[in-house]
Structure 1
Amino acid sequence: MHMAATLQRSLEQAQCQFDLVPHPHSAGSLESARVANIPAERLAKPVILDDRQGHYLMAVLPASRHLDMSMVCKGAEHWQLTNESTIAGLFKDCELGAVPAVGEPYGMSMRVDPQLTRQQDIYFEAGDHESLVHMSTDQFLKLVPRAEVCELCPQGPA
């Protein structure tokens, strides 16, 4: 198991209580939920967006849902999906495709869907494809205190 160093430091600084949950190698968030035997609605999936001007936004939603770009863009905001090579540069201490659902320690703003904040506890990638961080939702919000909670995906099944 390997936890991203940036994530580890952030957890320590925020004095968050968490568990590290090992699981068989997985290639994506839905597969991580399946192989770790946890409900997909409790696994936080980050989607990295950029505005083409060097600003980044992490949208965090349940792995069981899909991001609705029209719900992310507010007013004059114009966000687009960030390409994988850029993401690799932003999250240098993480394996590609295993980005933790915490943008603030990596210098980016965050928006979190309330479907996640209504869960008692949540899971998210630890920075590799074989471990998840598990914590109460209160501890997660303590870890990312500036995250904006707002609707990011339609209600109902994905």
Structure 2
Amino acid sequence: MALEKLTSYLDEKGIKYVVVRHSKAFTAQEVAASAHIPGKEMVKTVMVKVDDDIKMFVLPSTHDVDFEAIKDTFDAENVELASESEFEDMFPDCEIGAMPPFGNLFDMDTYVAEVLTEDEKIAFNAGTHKEVVKMNYKDFEDLVNPEIVPIAVRAMS
């Protein structure tokens, strides 16, 4: 259902994209490997509790959330990963952990890691752990109008 909602939205806006089906995978790195997508193009949607507000952050799969940077950016006291039970109702058509990075489709703001803006193409979960959508980053930015913030650090290998 989430994939249909997303592709209908992209079709309505005249956006070019590709849907890639792959074997079931859960982490962004597993999805990238399963779908044969470079890790730097694969993005992950991370739900973070900033004080008592749940926010959607989007960053490359090769990076981790920088909680201190989020504290500074939002002048927050407490920043932590949101638990699945805290956000599962916000994405009724999606499998937990497979939400597409389109906060605008779920009535929430979207925050994108500054480093992601360097990518020409991005790929992301399309609401399931078996489907990925690939599209131009610029089209994503035009549709979602995210706030660009410095909230990611390169993951340690």
Give the alignment's TM-score, normalised by structure 2: 0.87
Q: Which runs of 5+ in 1 are unaligned?
A: none
Determine which structure has the larger strand proportion and give its number.
2
Aligned position for 1:81:
81
**CA contact under 8 A between 2:59 and 2:116: conserved in structure 1?**
yes
Aligned pairs (5 A) from 1:12-51: 12-51=11-50
Q: Which amino acid aligns with 1:135?
A: M
Deviation per CA, 1:7-27: give whole Å up to 9, x if none: 345324433221111111112
2:64/2:155 contact within 8 Å kept: no
| CA–CA separation in structure 2 for the residues paired with 1:75 and 1:91 | 24
Alpha-carbon spacing, 1:6–1:57, altered in 2? closer, same or farther (3 Å): farther
- Following the alignment from structure 1 to structure 2, what is the Cα–Cα distance between the partners of residues 20 and 76? 38
- What secondary structure sits across from 2:116 in the alignment? helix
**Could you tell me which residue of structure 2 aligns to residue 60 of structure 1?**
58
Q: Which runs of 5+ in 2 are unaligned?
A: none
* 1:134-145 → structure 2 map (5 Å cutoff): 134-145=134-145
- 1:108 positional shift: 1.4
Residue 60 of structure 1: CA displacement? 0.6
1:38 corresponds to which letter in structure 2? I
| Deviating 4+ runs (over 3 angstroms) | 2-6, 12-15, 155-158
Q: 1:12 to 1:56 in 2, by over 3 A?
A: farther
State whether residues 58 and 103 of structure 1, in contact with CA within 8 Å, keep that contact through their aligned partners in structure 2: yes
| Matches of 1:156 and 1:85, distance apart in 2 | 26
Residues of 2 paired with 1:148 and 1:82: CA distance? 20
How much does 1:5 deviate?
4.7
How far apart, in 1, do the equivalents of 2:87 and 2:126 lie? Answer: 15
Distance 2:24 2:121 in 1: 22
Q: Distance in 2 between matches of 1:85 and 1:69?
A: 20
Q: Deviations over 1:90-119 (max 9, x none)?
A: 111001121112212111111111221111
Contact (CA 8 Å) 1:10, 1:143: kept in 2 or not?
A: no
Is the CA contact (8 Å cut-off) linking 1:112 and 1:150 kept in structure 2? yes
